[in-house]
Amino acid sequence: MKLRPVGILGTGKYVPEKVLTNADLEKMVETNDEWIVTRTGMKERHIAAEHEASSDLAYQASLIALKNAGIAPEDLDLIVVATITPDSAFPSTACLLQERLGAKKAAAFDLSAACSGFIYGLANASNFIATGMYKHALVIGAECLSKITDYTDRNTCILFGDGAGAVVLGEVPEGRGFQSFELGADGAGAELLKLAGGGSRCPSSVDSVQSGKHFIYMAGSEVFKFAVRIMGNAAEEALRKAGLAKGDIDLLVPHQANIRIIQASLNRLDLPEEKCMINLHKYGNVSAASIPIALAEADEEGRLKQGDCVVLVGFGGGLTWGASVIRW
Ligand code: UT7
């Protein structure tokens, strides 16, 4: 079977209004702006209002992506929402979004691969289009990490923010679009980054709430070491599969977890910082939404030019990782 070339037709992003600065965090936990900036690169994050959930952020980002793609919601065949903070365990956030958009004919599901979720979602949705089963797909990374963050834990609360990024996928001219995907997982690292409560292993209870099991737990330095190793490996493997080399990259769009992790990846790939999209100082780590927000911002800034080699790369809980090479 001949596969169709698939690419990104439009991007969009949305972050909630409220901003949480390092100065605000200094009043909440024992930390300081200097530590946060030098250890993470972060300065601000956006935080959802009490009434806002991931589907609300996803909806706003999707409207922009659809407009930029020139695609109507009724033309969507598939909606994939990558998230670790769905509105509820079920129905899926994708179904709530499908209804709100009026995407009547679209199949819809959520995907859980933590911070790698958006790249997993792209790989998934693009295959439906490549095989001819579907024409248009909406892939979103949407998170309200503030709702699962313990604001008394300085190890984690300085890192996370809320937001959503969306892309519309469809057929593109031969030679353009997705050139390769590299996806991976290592469940041996499952304990390093998790939210233990609320599932079938540890259902919600007074005890699960009182013992903080509904908050993110992270073994920071272990995850850091894994990230530094896997970001370079995944990007290089995706390039190899696409028949390209490090020197071919025009723009790297990495998961925005820590400026030191990004700098290590740039060293490994011999890339100058100008060839990298960095916006974690404004949004913090938004898990599955980090890469699509960065991609949409690169698009807004005119940093994605036709023919460019764009590499997306991320890692996250699971443990998981993913990378993709796109000819823009
Ligand atoms: O997308 C999800 C994946 N997650 C990540 O990518 C996170 C990966 N990990 C990291 O980015 C880093 O490990 C952190 C930013 C979380 C921590 O940075 P680190 O350089 O690994 O610091 P550390 O955990 O080794 O802590 C160093 C020191 C400790 O003090 P002592 O034991 O040396 O006295 C911490 O208690 O820094 C202390 N510390 C803080 N100090 C001020 C930890 N958090 C803070 C804080 N403010 N917020």
Tokens, residue 92:
């899926």
β partners of residue 316 = 320
Separation CA 251–CA 274 (nearest Å): 8
Helices and strands (H, E) in the chain, number of each type:
11, 13
Q: Ligand 1: residues within 6 Å at CB?
A: 31, 35, 39-40, 115, 154-155, 158, 193, 218, 220-221, 223-224, 227, 257-258, 285, 287, 316
Question: Is residue 76 situated within a structural domain?
Answer: yes
Q: How far is the C-alpha of 73 from the C-alpha of 101, rounded, in Å? A: 6
Strands 162-171 and 137-144: antiparallel
Q: Is residue 195 part of a domain?
A: yes
Q: Show which of 144, 175, 206 is a domain's final residue.
A: 175
The token duo for 89 is 């365990």
As a whole-number percent, the residues of the chain with pLDDT over 90 amount to: 99
- In angstroms, the CA 67 to CA 71 distance is 6
8 Å CB contact between 116 and 320: yes
Pairing of strands 177-185, 320-327: antiparallel
Give the number of other CB atoms < 10 A from CB of residue 296.
27
Region 99-111: what's the mean pLDDT? 98
| Residue 195 and residue 143 share a domain | no
Alpha-carbon torsion angle 259, 280, 184, 96, nearest 10: 170
- 281 CB-near residues (< 8 Å, 6+ apart): 41, 42, 43, 44, 259
Task: Match 């991320």 to its residue by tokens.
Answer: 314
- CATH code, 187: 3.40.47.10
| pTM of the complete model | 0.97
Question: What is the mean pLDDT of the segment spanning 205-210?
Answer: 97
Please provide residue 284's backbone torsions phi and psi, each rounded to the nearest 5 degrees. Answer: 65, -160
Q: In testing the pocket of ligand 1, which one of 29, 160, 221 has its CB within 8 Å of the most ligand atoms? A: 221
237 shares its domain with 318: yes
Catalytic residues: 115, 255, 285
Structural domains of the chain, count: 2
pLDDT at 66 over 90: yes
Distance, CA 114 to ligand 1 centroid (Å)? 20
**Structural domain range at position 113:** 6-175
* Shared-domain flag, residues 229 and 127: no
**Whole-angstrom Cα distance, residue 277 to residue 262?**
10
- Tens of pLDDT, residue by residue over 120-174, are 999 999 999 999 999 999 999 999 999 999 999 999 999 999 999 999 999 999 9
The Å distance, Cα 198 to ligand 1 centre, comes to 26
The C-alpha R_g of the chain, in whole angstroms, comes to 19
Both 17 and 165 in one domain: the answer is yes
Around Cβ 11, how many Cβ atoms within 10 Å? 23
Note whether residue 1 is domain-resident: no
Write out pLDDT tens, residues 13-46: 999 999 999 999 999 999 999 999 999 999 999 9
107 CA to middle of ligand 1, Å?
41
**Residues 183 and 149 placed together within one structural domain of the fold:** no
Residue the block writes with tokens 């790249």: 119
42, 159 contact by CB (below 8 A): yes
Paired tokens of 226: 């894994």
Q: What pLDDT, on a 0 to 100 scale, did the predictor assign at position 242?
A: 98
Q: Is the pLDDT score of 1 beyond 90?
A: no
Examine the fold and report which residue of 113, 146, 175 is the final residue of a domain before the chain moves on.
175
Tell me how far apart the alpha carbons of residues 93 and 168 are, in angstroms, rounded to a whole number: 17
In this model, does residue 254 exceed pLDDT 90? yes
Do 314 and 294 meet the contact criterion of CB atoms below 8 Å apart? no
pLDDT digits (tens, 9 = 90+) for 213-248: 999 999 999 999 999 999 999 999 999 999 999 999
